[in-house]
Every structure is written in C-alpha cells, then in structure tokens.
C-alpha cells in the first residue's frame, strides 16, 4: 500500500492510498477517513460506495460525511467504482466500463480480466484494510449513492452478518427492469438473467431481506427516478415486512447537493446500529 496523501480533518485524518488489487489485477485507489479515536484503538467502519462516473474522490470531497463521522467516532472507506489503467477495458459511454463497475464480478470479454468489483469490495479491500488500519471489522455498515446505493444494498443482503445497517441515496433499485442495469448486467454477466437477479436489490429483498435497519432517501424531483425504480424496492420490503424506511424528499434531485443534505441523518442512523451493543 502506498500513501498518496494524508490531511488532518475534523480532528482525524483523511487519507488517499493506492494498492495492487489481486481481484482486479491492477492498481486501485481508495480513501479512508480515520476519526481522532483511531489513535487510541479500533473504530467502527462505514463504507460509502459511489455512483456512475465517480472515483473514490467524489464523495470524499462532496458528501460532507467526515464531520458527522468524526462526531460519532466512525471511520469512512471510499473505494473506487471500477478498475483503472491503460490495459483496463473501457467504453465510450459514461455508464459502462471505467467509472461504471456496477459492483459485480464480470464474466464476459473484455471485462472479466479486471472488472471484479464484487470481490474487490467484499474481500480484497476489507482484507487489506484490516491489516493496515485500526478498524473494528466486527462493526461495519454500508451506504452509497445511485449505482453505489445498488452496490450497498446488494452486498448487505448477500453477505449476511457482515453489515449491521444499510442505507442508500437514490439507489438503482431494480437494475433487471431498467436501462440502468440491463445494459451493464448483460455486458458484464452475459445473457444469464439468473446471474443478473443476484445483483438486483428488489429481487434480493423478496428472497433474502436484511437482518437490520434499512434507510433510503430518494429525491422526489430526481431526473433519473424512472431508471432507479424505488417503488419496486419499497413494494418488496413491504411484502417481506422488512424493517425499512423510504423517505421521498420533495424538491431534491440526484446531485451531491441532495446527498450532502441528508448525510448527517445517514451517519447518525448507522452510528445507532454500530454502537447498539
């Protein structure tokens, strides 16, 4: 692991680091915010997964999460959204390839060589973080925005016991039923729709649910709401009788102005779960 930068922030440290990812077979960049409490012992962890076109940096500088994480003594992890590098496959469209990994393990050419983002977030990066940082990996929570909200929800429901709580800002809720999903899942996973369903939070909510609290914030004026399909996730949660809160926020769109407006609520929501015992 190499240090790119470390800056004092809210009494703690906001760092940016690179490492060679075994799963993605390339160098990856990520951010970690450590609160002041990390100087004296391990601290709980909140993962933030970013959306289409983003890197590790977008949420790190725009979401305003560090102030609230510092208040609660929680570390933040900001992974990248895809593999990077000259040899990594890409596409001219903004919603496929670099910046659009969709948090799946690709099986199709040319993506399979590097686009193993599920393994990266679920196994590769956590393993290294546990070795390098004072993190209490028995107390983890996860959140994300848009494509990252999709990733947060699918990881939380597919890895029972890993995360104590999950939240999302304007997540892609039903990728098997919308253009933000069908295109990418078919490119990365091929025509096997059973494989697609494993990465659809509405399907997973019906089949598995989540053993813990779920919070979703959705801008009612989000320009992409028809692609996000929050109603499908809400219906699945209601049918399963899942502990679930969906807040439709009047006047808000899909931007980081929306995310930062409700970040305090989300960090507090996760703090309640992370410190429950």
Give me the active site residues, please: 146, 222, 254
DSSP, collapsed to helix, strand or coil, labels residue 242 as coil
43/253 Cα distance (integer angstroms): 33
Nearest of 160, 180, 168 to residue 143 by alpha carbon: 168
> Residue 84 has which token pair?
């990077």
> Residue 60 has which token pair?
């790190």
Give the DSSP letter of residue 97: B
DSSP, collapsed to helix, strand or coil, labels residue 181 as helix
SS3 content of the chain, % helix, strand, coil (to 5): 40, 25, 35
Name the β-bridge partners of 87.
Answer: none
Burial pattern 239-269, b for ≥16 Cβ within 10 A else e, equals: eeebebebeebeebebebebbebbbeebbeb
101 exposure class (CB count in 10 Å sphere: 0-12, 13-18, 19+): buried
């Amino acid at each position: 692991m190499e240090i790119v930068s470390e800056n004092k922030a809210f009494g703690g440290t906001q760092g940016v680091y690179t490492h060679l990812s075994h799963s993605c077979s390339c160098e990856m960049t990520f951010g970690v915010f450590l609160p002041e409490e990390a100087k004296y012992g391990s601290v709980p962890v909140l993962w933030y997964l970013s959306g289409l076109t983003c890197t590790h940096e977008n949420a790190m500088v725009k979401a305003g999460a560090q102030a609230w994480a510092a208040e609660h003594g929680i570390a933040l992890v900001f992974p990248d959204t895809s593999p990077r590098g000259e040899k990594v496959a890409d596409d001219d469209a903004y919603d496929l390839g670099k910046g659009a990994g969709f948090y799946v393990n690709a099986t199709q050419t040319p993506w399979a060589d590097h686009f193993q983002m599920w393994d990266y977030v679920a196994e590769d990066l956590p393993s290294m973080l546990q070795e390098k940082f004072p993190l209490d990996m028995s107390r983890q929570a996860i959140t994300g925005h848009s494509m990252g909200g999709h990733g947060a929800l699918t990881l939380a429901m597919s890895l029972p016991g890993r995360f104590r709580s999950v939240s999302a800002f304007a997540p892609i809720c039903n990728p098997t039923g919308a253009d933000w999903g069908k295109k990418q899942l078919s490119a990365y996973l091929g025509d096997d729709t059973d494989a697609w369903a494993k990465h659809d939070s509405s399907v997973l909510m019906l089949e598995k649910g989540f053993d813990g609290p779920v919070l979703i914030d959705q801008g009612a004026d989000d320009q992409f709401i028809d692609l996000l399909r929050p109603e499908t996730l809400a219906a699945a949660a209601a049918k399963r009788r899942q502990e679930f809160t969906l807040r439709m926020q009047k006047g808000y769109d899909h931007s980081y102005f929306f995310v930062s407006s409700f970040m305090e609520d989300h960090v507090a929501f996760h703090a309640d779960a992370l410190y429950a015992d």
